[in-house]
Amino acid sequence: MTLADVRPLLSDFGEAFAPASEVRLGQDCHTPPAFRSPEARFEPQKPLTYSSDIWSLATAIWEVMGMKALFSIDMVPDDEIVAQHIDVLGPLPREWWLRWEGRGKFFTEDGHPTDAYLENKWPPLEEAFDIDIQKWRRKWRGVVEEEERAAFVDLIRRMLLFRPEARPTAEDVLQSEWMVKWALPDYERSLNTSP
């Protein structure tokens, strides 16, 4: 079976909406925690934007590339997901950090992991790439070369910026180096591959 033979079925479970024509507040976001953008939690009274979808898209792309979610898909508390965001991506914006009541379970006031959390700490994005994606690729498909790795990590990092207004648009994602040089050409090749 080739990609051209696949007939995907998309379902939104009644949650899809267009931020340009409908307002939905962060507090009303039902995206699973591992894929939910942090502004839904830290700015619950603000409307969600397409930038929230960019965050979720980044987590989906990561999972497809690595056969593993970037953040825990287990039933963990929301505070633990926030701690994972910090581990993988770096410090939260200051006002979110100060608003986060659960931070003391995971970090000291100066942002260092607590002794209790150290053993559960998640690796930074670049390290996670080697653990989640390269490890799987070494076993099954061959490793991602350094140039592609750098372009991929750069794109994912930009898509996962904490500030929604700083994230790329969907058009920016499609025009990114990783999409143009690797993802889209690979997709085109897969359409023409015979079983």
- Residue ranges and CATH numbers for the domains of the chain are 30-191 (1.10.510.10)
Amino acid at 150: A
* Rounded-to-integer distance, Cα 145 and Cα 195, Å: 26
Per-residue confidence (pLDDT) for residue 22, from 0 to 100: 80
pLDDT tens-digit profile of 74-130? Answer: 888 999 999 999 999 999 999 999 999 999 999 999 999 999 999 899 999 999 999
pLDDT score of 194 more than 60: no
Rounded mean pLDDT of the chain? 90
- Render the burial of 118-134: b for 16+ CB within 10 Å, e for the rest: eeeebeebeebbeebbe
- Top mean-pLDDT range of 17-21, 136-140, 174-178, 191-195: 174-178
The model's confidence at residue 10, banded by pLDDT at 50, 70 and 90, is low
Whether the per-residue pLDDT at 1 is higher than 50: the answer is no
